[in-house]
Amino acid sequence: MTNATSSTPSGQPLGISHKPSPTETMFDEFKAADKPAFIGYLPYGFPDPDYSLKAFRTMVEHGVNAVEIGLPYSDPVMDGPVIQAASQIAIDNGEKNANVFKAVETVANAGGVPLVMSYWNLIFHYGVERFARDFENAGGAGLITPDLIPDEAGEWIEASDRHGLDRIFLVSPDSTEDRLKVVADNARGFVYAAARMGVTGERSTIDASPKELVARTRKAGAKNVCVGIGVSTAEQGARVGSYADGVIVGSALVHTMLDESGKHAVDEATGLKALAEKTEELAEGIHNARN
């Protein structure tokens, strides 16, 4: 029988990865330069699998530092109408969750930090250990789980520890101090601070509550706190970037690849051009937030 406590040459127990977090390394570099990171979201497979790989590469080439690769889901609880529409297009055009690791490899090869954002049901049915293994092998950094709380994440915490993957949990303005501490204690990489209650989507204004939430989350022990939900302009990105470690943008990027009806994707050349321009605009605002 194998001794469960047998050790590696470094003296660490087998079964636990101690490799550094690429996400935390990214934040360390940005903090040294006194800049916030830009995290961009797109659903994998939107508008179709090949087109989406080009979109992920375009985002990194034009200023996104870490990419949230969304796993489209037929029954989302957090996504607003823009992301819901894009996800449905992806599903209709043959997106397969098992192929998302191509997107992870694409982002990594382009020089970005690959993150996956997924509802827990999809990971559970894929197999938690299997997902962690395949995600690590593809060069993935971490998983954002909007509907999984640390209290119910034991299997994922164990698997992510084994494979050296980040665990990114969410907090919101109504999170209690105790809840913030539980999240901060169990997170790895960063804590995702939802700027407001409700679903994702572009907003004309962002109120002061995210700044207070970031301060409270840091006080609870979080090393890195990023703000998402509602950031859609360079001005908003700069405002949030003045106090957050990272700024998360989703719907505003997805929107560039939808037509005026919001129900159909534009052609590839048009979509990638618009995505590149929007990414550059946001990156300039976010990265220069503290100048």
Q: For residues 261 and 93, what is the distance between their CA atoms, to the nearest angstrom?
A: 18
CB atoms within 10 A of CB 127: 12
Q: Which residue type, as a one-letter code, is found at position 87? A: S
DSSP string, 43-84: ETTSS-HHHHHHHHHHHHHTT-SEEEEE---SS-SS--HHHH
Asked if residues 250 and 41 have their Cβ atoms less than 8 Å apart, the reply is yes
Options 24, 79, 95, 136, the catalytic residue:
79
Options 24, 28, 68, 95, the catalytic residue:
68
Q: Which residues contact 2 (CB under 8 A, 6 or more apart)?
A: none
- The residue with tokens 């970005």 is 112
Q: Tell me how far apart the terminal alpha carbons of the chain are, to the nearest angstrom.
A: 60
For residue 28, indicate whether it is catalytic: no
Nearest to 86 by CA among 258, 228, 231: 258
Q: Across the chain, where does the E strand assignment appear?
A: 37-43, 66-70, 113-117, 142-144, 166-168, 170-171, 191-194, 225-228, 246-249
For residue 129, indicate whether it is catalytic: no
For 86: left if phi > 0, alpha if psi spans -120 to 50, otherwise beta; the answer is alpha
- Positions marked active-site: 68, 79
